[in-house]
């Protein structure tokens, strides 16, 4: 009898193994768009495939605590949502470039938004699939008999496997370096969840993001509690001047002042214009939440007034928590008549900016794909590209609206060369005294400083051009984080600037960047010593504009001298922020990001109905022949052509020789009468993100 029960147990677990394998294949087929793509993934990423199957097998095998009929029902109840996860990730990734994350599941608005993209065909086959699965379950439940008696071997084995699943699931959903992750090559790509899911599989990627899900409600959170906190704010009156200033914010990649290292000598000042403005305008220091990377966390704080210090360590706010329209600087300004533009000399999908910027209230996002002629600089793009876009926007007809422009640069992105120099190199450094930099450290610092000289010139060009426009303008210029100058803080250590003594002073050295607030109308010279969460309220106050309940609270506390920054949790005591204020900030932040936005008093945050990437789609107006370098070519004429614009002739992509905003030059070929010419803008992943009109060639 025990032999029969043992065989029954093994058979049951084999069924679960086969069911797990097939379910994972179907999930990946739905996510990747076909069985061939799913099988290719299993071949290229066999270990992550094993990881997905193992997790599901442990769960399904544990369900054999139930008898057969109930096992069939429960196992399908488990697997059907997983199949939908694969399908929903395919749909969402097609819309926003990011698969479904755990934080999406509690958001009805996100689900409704995705439901709109179920085409009639897809909806039909989804219903067919559900009906088919339901019929299969009914047939199996009717046909498959329950065994007589109890199989203790199977029951105990199933309980052990279920317990093992719960243990492993807890470890895998909270640890980044578990034994299974290391052995089965599970890699979490913080900046790109699409890549995470494509490598690790849908279940693998989803499980890795579960650690960001839990957000505890503050004790006493309620409408009354929020109103009581708001009552402590002093709301500033709007400016009496009817002319609202243009506001330009530039978050410059890894911008920092290396001349603050007292043990280092420079042959010349790498940022002379910035230092000149420091003396003439409002300037100082900005406490930022990150070092060497994770740019968007500084960006998130600067645009919202929300602190990442109250979010799980290691999380990326844009990816994990911005899942709905938020009150932010762009949305505040748009409500007060501003035209709001985001500019970034990098890919639109990076950190999901193209989706997040809509939720933050931007009217448009000009990513590198939509720049006509960005200037390459190594793997990134020169700051000139961003300055050009800012000036282009300022010169456009805004129908009387003032501009808010938020720009993010990439020129100064690391790593910094240890054995090469730029053609424009002009900075030399050395340590004071008898000691010397290592060759690698010296080269890194000089390359970084040479970069700064170019950045400083672009800042000067922007200020000079803005001054010519005779428009009230505020320019906010700051760094997102310090540069990563070698492993283990190599340059900082060799310069004896940072000694890793874990003190507050050392922390501030590595988490403080320069900040400048320039304007052409106030003559203010404020000494700034603030955190990035304070930028939005400070900018609104400078512009004479009203804020929201969070920014008003922050500004009140700042102006009353109660606090100016929110440092890392282990240094909060150093800022002497009283517990009540700290609890107030946490509750306001919860209300904005996770709660019911009681502070908005039922006022809905409206996203821009016309939000888009770029200013408008490309347009083809004609075609002609010409000669370039002695070779015959075709010139596609039109407007709104960009860096990533490509010509398609009757649906087939043509090679591109060169392009600018009004023409694209392609190799000559005979064009037949009626040939369809389309210009498409594609991203790095070869996804079409904008398309022109269909232009039909007619022989003259």
- By the 8 A CB rule, do 322 and 658 touch? no
Distance of CA 11 to the CA centre of its chain: 47
Residue percentage of the chain with pLDDT more than 90:
55
- By the 8 A CB rule, do 435 and 275 touch? no
DSSP-derived secondary structure letter, 519: E
Secondary structure (DSSP) of 168-200? HHHHHTT-SS-HHHHHTT----TT-HHHHHHHH
User: Per-residue pLDDT for 488 more than 90?
Assistant: no
User: Per-residue pLDDT for 28 more than 80?
Assistant: yes
User: Per-residue pLDDT for 11 more than 60?
Assistant: yes
Determine the Cα–Cα distance for residues 451 and 471; give it in Å rounded to an integer: 30
DSSP-derived secondary structure letter, 573: G
Strand, coil or helix: what is 658? strand
Comparing 562 with 515, the larger pLDDT belongs to 515
- 402: tokens are 């003032």
Determine the Cα–Cα distance for residues 88 and 106; give it in Å rounded to an integer: 14
- 19: tokens are 């069911």
Which pLDDT does position 149 carry in this prediction? 63
Q: Which of 193-197, 524-528, 640-644 has the lowest mean pLDDT?
A: 193-197
Burial 221-260 (b: 16+ CB within 10 A, else e): beeebbeebbeebeebeeeeeeebbbbbbbbbbbbbbbbe
Determine the Cα–Cα distance for residues 549 and 537; give it in Å rounded to an integer: 10
Query: For strand 663-667 and strand 658-659, is the pairing parallel, antiparallel, or unpaired?
Result: antiparallel
Strand, coil or helix: what is 215? coil
Evaluate the CA torsion angle 26, 32, 38, 44 in order and state its sign.
negative
Evaluate the CA torsion angle 353, 358, 364, 370 in order and state its sign.
positive
Stretch 462-486: mean pLDDT: 95
Which pLDDT does position 120 carry in this prediction? 52
Determine the Cα–Cα distance for residues 657 and 48; give it in Å rounded to an integer: 41
User: Per-residue pLDDT for 30 more than 70?
Assistant: yes
Q: What is the number of alpha carbons within 13 Å of residue 324 lying toward its C-beta?
A: 19
Residue 645 CB partners (closer than 8 Å, separation 6+): 618, 656, 659, 664, 679, 680, 681
| Tens-place pLDDT, residues 331-381 | 999 999 999 999 999 999 888 899 999 999 999 999 999 999 999 998 899
- By the 8 A CB rule, do 32 and 7 touch? no
* Cβ atoms within 10 Å, residue 479: 24
User: Per-residue pLDDT for 492 more than 80?
Assistant: yes
Q: Which of 87-96, 230-239, 600-609 has the lowest mean pLDDT?
A: 230-239
Residues of the chain with CATH 3.40.720.10: 223-612
Determine the Cα–Cα distance for residues 205 and 101; give it in Å rounded to an integer: 8
Stretch 548-553: mean pLDDT: 93
CA-nearest of 545, 531, 403, 547 to 475 is 403
Which pLDDT does position 137 carry in this prediction? 66
* Cβ atoms within 10 Å, residue 282: 21
Distances (CA, A) of 596 to 34, 455, 627: 40, 42, 63
Secondary structure (DSSP) of 405-419? EEEE--TT-S---SS
* Cβ atoms within 10 Å, residue 476: 22
Which pLDDT does position 191 carry in this prediction? 57
| Tens-place pLDDT, residues 209-259 | 887 766 778 999 999 999 999 988 876 555 545 789 999 999 999 999 999
User: Per-residue pLDDT for 119 more than 60?
Assistant: no
Residues of the chain with CATH 2.60.40.10: 616-696
Which pLDDT does position 237 carry in this prediction? 52
User: Per-residue pLDDT for 270 more than 90?
Assistant: yes
CA-nearest of 401, 384, 556 to 455 is 384
Residue percentage of the chain with pLDDT more than 70:
90
Q: What CATH number does the domain located at 616-696 have?
A: 2.60.40.10
| Tens-place pLDDT, residues 317-345 | 888 889 899 999 999 999 999 999 999 99
Determine the Cα–Cα distance for residues 19 and 78; give it in Å rounded to an integer: 12
Q: Which of 143-147, 217-221, 386-390, 682-686 has the lowest mean pLDDT?
A: 143-147
User: Per-residue pLDDT for 116 more than 60?
Assistant: no
CA-nearest of 587, 592, 585, 564 to 576 is 564
For domain 223-612, the question of CATH label 3.40.720.10 is answered with: yes
By CB neighbour count within 10 A (0-12 exposed, 13-18 middle, 19+ buried), where does 436 fall? exposed
Residue 311 CB partners (closer than 8 Å, separation 6+): 317, 320, 321
First to last CA, the chain: 91
Stretch 572-585: mean pLDDT: 90
CA-nearest of 543, 492, 494, 552 to 517 is 543
Residue 652 CB partners (closer than 8 Å, separation 6+): none
- By the 8 A CB rule, do 479 and 473 touch? no
pTM for this entry:
0.78
- By the 8 A CB rule, do 226 and 599 touch? yes
Instruction: Please state whether 560 falls in left (phi above 0), alpha (psi between -120 and 50) or beta.
Output: alpha
- By the 8 A CB rule, do 422 and 450 touch? yes
Comparing 150 with 163, the larger pLDDT belongs to 163
DSSP-derived secondary structure letter, 328: -
Please list the alpha-helical segments (H only) found in 336-420. 353-360, 383-394
Bridge partners, residue 297, by sequence: none
Mean of the per-residue pLDDT values of the chain: 88
| Tens-place pLDDT, residues 385-440 | 999 999 999 999 878 899 999 999 999 998 899 999 998 999 999 999 889 999 99
Distances (CA, A) of 520 to 21, 237, 462, 464, 523: 66, 21, 13, 11, 7
Instruction: Please state whether 627 falls in left (phi above 0), alpha (psi between -120 and 50) or beta.
Output: beta
């Amino acid at each position: 009898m025990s032999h029969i029960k043992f065989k029954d147990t093994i058979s049951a677990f084999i069924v679960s193994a086969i069911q797990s394998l097939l379910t994972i294949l179907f999930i990946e087929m739905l996510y990747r768009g076909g069985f061939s793509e799913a099988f290719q993934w299993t071949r290229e990423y066999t270990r992550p495939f094993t990881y997905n199957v193992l997790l599901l097998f442990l769960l399904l095998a544990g369900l054999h605590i139930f008898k057969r009929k109930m096992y069939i029902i429960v196992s399908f109840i488990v697997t059907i949502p997983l199949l939908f996860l694969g399908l929903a990730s395919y749909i969402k990734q097609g819309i926003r470039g990011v698969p479904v994350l755990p934080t999406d599941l509690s958001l009805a608005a996100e689900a409704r938004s995705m439901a709109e993209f179920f085409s009639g065909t897809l909806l039909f086959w989804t219903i067919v699939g559900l009906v088919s699965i339901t019929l299969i379950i009914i047939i199996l439940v009717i046909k498959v008999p329950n065994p007589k008696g109890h199989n203790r071997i199977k029951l105990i084995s199933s309980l052990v496997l279920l317990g093992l699943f719960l243990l492993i699931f807890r470890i895998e959903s909270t640890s980044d370096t578990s034994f299974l992750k290391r052995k089965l090559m599970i890699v979490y790509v913080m900046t790109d969840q699409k890549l995470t899911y494509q490598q690790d599989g849908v279940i693998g990627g989803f499980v890795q993001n579960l650690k960001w899900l839990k957000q505890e409600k503050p004790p006493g959170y309620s409408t009354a509690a929020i109103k009581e906190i708001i009552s402590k704010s002093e709301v500033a009156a709007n400016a009496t001047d009817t002319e609202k200033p243009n506001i330009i914010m530039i978050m410059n990649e890894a911008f920092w002042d290396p001349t603050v290292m007292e043990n280092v000598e420079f042959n010349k000042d790498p940022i002379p214009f910035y230092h000149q403005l420091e003396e003439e305008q409002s300037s100082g220091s900005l406490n930022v939440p990150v070092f060497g990377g994770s740019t968007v966390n500084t960006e998130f704080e600067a645009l919202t007034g929300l602190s990442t210090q109250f979010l799980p360590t290691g999380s990326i706010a844009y990816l994990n928590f911005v899942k709905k329209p938020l009150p932010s600087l762009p949305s505040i300004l748009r409500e007060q008549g501003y035209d709001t533009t985001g500019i970034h000399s990098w890919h639109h999908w990076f950190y999901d900016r193209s989706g997040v910027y809509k939720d933050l209230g931007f009217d448009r996002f000009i990513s590198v794909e939509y720049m006509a002629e960005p200037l390459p600089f190594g793997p990134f793009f020169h700051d000139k590209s961003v300055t050009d876009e800012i000036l282009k926007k300022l010169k456009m007809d805004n129908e009387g609206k003032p501009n808010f422009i938020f720009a993010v640069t990439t020129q100064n992105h690391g790593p910094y060369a240890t054995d090469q120099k730029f053609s424009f190199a002009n900075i030399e450094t050395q340590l004071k005294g008898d000691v010397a930099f290592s060759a690698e450290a010296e080269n890194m610092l000089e390359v970084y400083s040479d970069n700064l000289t170019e950045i400083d010139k672009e800042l000067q060009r922007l200020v000079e051009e803005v001054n010519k426009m005779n428009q009230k303008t505020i320019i906010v210029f700051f760094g997102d984080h310090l540069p990563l100058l070698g492993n283990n803080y190599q340059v900082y250590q060799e310069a004896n600037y940072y000694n890793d003594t874990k003190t507050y002073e050392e922390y501030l050295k590595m988490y403080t960047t320069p900040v400048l607030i320039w304007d052409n109308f106030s003559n203010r010279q404020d000494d700034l010593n603030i955190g990035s969460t304070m930028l939005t309220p400070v900018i609104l106050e400078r512009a004479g504009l009203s804020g929201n309940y969070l920014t008003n609270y922050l500004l009140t506390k700042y102006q009353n001298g109660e606090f100016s920054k929110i440092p890392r949790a282990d240094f909060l005591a150093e800022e002497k922020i009283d517990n009540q204020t700290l609890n107030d900030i946490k509750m306001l932040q919860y209300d904005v990001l996770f709660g019911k936005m009681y502070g908005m008093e039922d006022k809905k945050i409206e996203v821009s109905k016309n939000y888009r990437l770029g200013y408008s789609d490309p347009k083809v107006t004609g075609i002609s022949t010409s000669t370039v370098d002695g070779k015959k070519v075709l010139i596609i004429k039109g407007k709104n052509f960009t860096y990533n614009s490509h010509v398609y002739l009757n649906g087939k992509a043509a090679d591109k020789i060169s392009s600018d905003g009004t023409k694209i030059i392609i190799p000559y070929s005979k064009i037949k009468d009626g040939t369809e010419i389309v210009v498409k803008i594609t991203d790095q992943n070869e996804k079409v993100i904008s398309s022109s009109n269909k232009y039909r060639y007619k022989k003259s």
